[in-house]
Amino acid sequence: MIIAIIRLHSQPVPTELVRAIAAGGIGMVEVTLTTPRALETIAQFADDPEITIGAGTVRDGAGARAAAAAGAKFFVTPTIDADVLDIALDAGIDVYCGAMTPTEIETAYRHPAVQGVKVFPVGALGGPQYIKAIREPLNDIPLIPTGGVDAVNAVAYRRLGCAGIGVGGSLVSDNLVNSCGWAEITARATDIVTSWEREK
């Protein structure tokens, strides 16, 4: 599983951006709620057969309810928030819950809405070395490293048995969107998919 993370700071998400990501083979797209008009983008793609659209940076109950109403198919959180998890469970929405320490990872995964734990920010924690260390005692928990993941290290996370990866800055940037670099985004997505699937 690969989740493409769209976090823009100064503009809404162009349709071409989502299509460029999908053209590179990544069908799960997370739009962070901090992105301008994020809920409109989620609603736009809620029924698209080629895209599984989700909401990211879901931090509280208000955000969770708004994202669910817009049609988000999954939530990604940076933290563990009981309101978000309970709202998702009631709505039948999968959550990939953010956590960092072994205790946080264990706590997050015990909630029935949580299908996998986003280990964040994995790059700052040591990358694959950190995942290797925590996989030893927590090898039954689906881990999704996020933060500093790219086409170079994606294969390392797959080899370590991770359930997926979250890819943001190495795939999408404000500058690329401003320059309409759709072909470059598709190429980056393709490289990430190729790296991840090398260990299939």
Q: Which residues are known to be catalytic?
A: 30, 118
Phi, psi dihedrals of residue 95, rounded to the nearest 5°: -125, 135
Cβ count within 10 A of residue 153: 18
Question: Which residue bears the tokens 């890819």?
Answer: 167
Query: CA-to-CA distance for 127 and 154, rounded, in angstroms?
Result: 10
Edge-to-edge strand ranges of the sheet holding 94-99: 143-145, 114-119, 94-99, 74-76, 52-56, 28-32, 2-6, 165-167
